Amino acid sequence: MDARTHLADFQHRLYRTRPGVQQTPPVLRAKLLEKVAHLQGKVMWDVGAGSGSIAIEWKLHRPCAEVFAIERFDERCFDIYKNAEQFGADINIINQFAEKEILDILPRPDLIYHGCPGECVEDLYPLLWNYLSPGGCLISNAVSGTGVQRAYAAQARYGGEITVIDAFDLIRHQWMAYKPGIEIAATGQSDGNAS
């Protein structure tokens, strides 16, 4: 099955979630993951995983990848577990807040998805950027005022692009940036920068 066919399948999976927990709609989930479908990295972190939909979809798209769904709320971790079980995705669920002591023991990621950048008291972008492998990608969808401010501040600091998406009566600011270094992509080309 090619990537396009598999990505189209994203729209047909329904994920268990809690009232009030933001979940990336299926169409946007497919578009988001299509943007990073060229990445060949082996480790993915879904930070603030919520229902685990992004982590699970990445694992289904990249069966050999090591995927970590990092979520601090117990009830959301239960939902992630049930969703992963339903769709046969063997992912690692970390029931902790994303903090240095936890992230230090995980393999360094080639792809980080940061689910709700405005939900935390502190801005996690600087912490996550430090863990991202050279050539790796950090991508997120900001929906709150705080999250949007943090996304634009991250763009000013690290580069990348912000795409404004108006869908399902909710404006999302999607920030996506590649860390300078060896490209983790199908081409295998390096941009010549060091991290």
The per-residue pLDDT for 91 is 98
DSSP letters, 11-49, are: GG------TT-----HHHHHHHHHHTTTB--SEEEEET-
What's the predicted TM-score (pTM) here?
0.85
**pLDDT tens digit sequence for 130-153:** 999 999 999 998 888 999 999 999
For residues 168-185, average pLDDT: 80
The per-residue pLDDT for 64 is 94
Cross-strand bridge partners of residue 175? 140, 162
Q: Which two tokens mark 53? A: 């939909």
DSSP letters, 173-185, are: EEEEEE-SSB--B
* pLDDT, averaged across the chain: 84
**pLDDT tens digit sequence for 15-50:** 767 665 566 677 777 788 888 888 888 999 999 998
Residue 170's pLDDT band (cuts 50, 70, 90): confident
CB atoms within 10 A of CB 121: 7
